[in-house]
Amino acid sequence: MASIKDIKRKISSVHSTQKITKAMKMVSAAKLRRANEAVTSTQSYSEKLREVVVNLAANVSDFKHPYMVVPSETKTVGLFVLSSDRGLCGAFNSNVVKAVQSFQQENPSYKIKLYISGKNAYDYFRRRNADIVCKWISLSGKVTYPHAEEISKTIAKAFTNGEIDAAYLIYNEFFSVSFQLPICRQLFPLSLDKDRVNEGYKLEFEMAYDYNVATDAGLSDFLIEPDPASVLGRLLPRYVTFSIYHSLLESAAGEHGARMVAMDNATRSADDMIKRLTLNYNKARQATITTELLDIVNGAEALR
């Protein structure tokens, strides 16, 4: 059994760690509230924009756009991977990494190029000599629409220039504080078929979830100027950019939620450890007292 001094030192160390994890939990809770408000405030606009784009496409025949060009053969695929800049958030980052690895295993013939947001995923794939084209660091704490525009333009330029034949978005979608689902969705070539527009690339571990939005309301009651094709052409870049922006917000909210849960679990574990160490401390102290009493009794008996 460890000495009383060692146990006391361990209890003090765990107490200090518990204070840190409790503070981090409170900070993450405050950040999560703001991030969740940002996700909620953009949710309606994102769904309505998707609905307008799909309905416009249904009313335009033979519409052509560089974002919709399907290559004759898919050889090179770009993956836009969203992770956090910091750790201590449970399986948040490892789930994204597993999603990328699952995509690579299911498509061994593809050459993968990575576009990464977040230091955690960047460090992981850099150490494994992956083909990283671009990286964006320190966005999880301050996501803005201009950041999404920059990312969207970079990936769209690579697709339209033929550097990649397709592009997918891999990130943790935020459902609740304790549940973030890693998903993979196709960005390019863009499909405006209302039966496929919300269809994600199904990974082996991905749970079944209904991503469909209402797309039955047509645009026959609206007068569109100058014409639906022109409006659709202007909306598509914004549609892609806002999809990326909303994904960045969801990933940020998921990070704070995962960190809050992880720090709460760590705080509870520290409390359990303190209780066990305190019990051991009391046992060791009692054993020491008992030994000292026996020494005193034995000494007194020896003097008789």
Q: Give the whole-angstrom CA distance, residue 200 versus residue 116.
A: 19
Q: Round to whole Å and give the CA distance between 245 and 143.
A: 8
What single letter denotes the amino acid at residue 112?
I
Q: Is 105 helix (H, G, I), strand (E, B) or coil?
A: helix
CB 265 within 8 A of CB 93: no
- The single residue of 89, 116, 262, 263 carrying the catalytic annotation is 89
Query: Is residue 18 within 8 Å of residue 263, measured between CB atoms?
Result: no
Length of the chain: 304
The b-or-e profile of 200-230 (16+ CB within 10 A means b, else e) is: bbebeeeeeeeeeeebeeeeeeeeeeeebbe
Rounded to whole angstroms, the Cα distance separating 225 from 232 reads 11
Please, are residues 80 and 185 in contact by the beta-carbon 8 Å criterion?
no
Give me the sign of the Cα torsion angle 41, 43, 44, 45. Answer: positive
Q: With CA atoms as reference, report the closest residue to 263 among 53, 23, 34.
A: 23
Residue 89 bears catalytic tag: yes
**Of the candidates 246, 267, 232, 240, the residue with the CA atom closest to the CA atom of residue 58:** 232
**Residues involved in catalysis:** 89
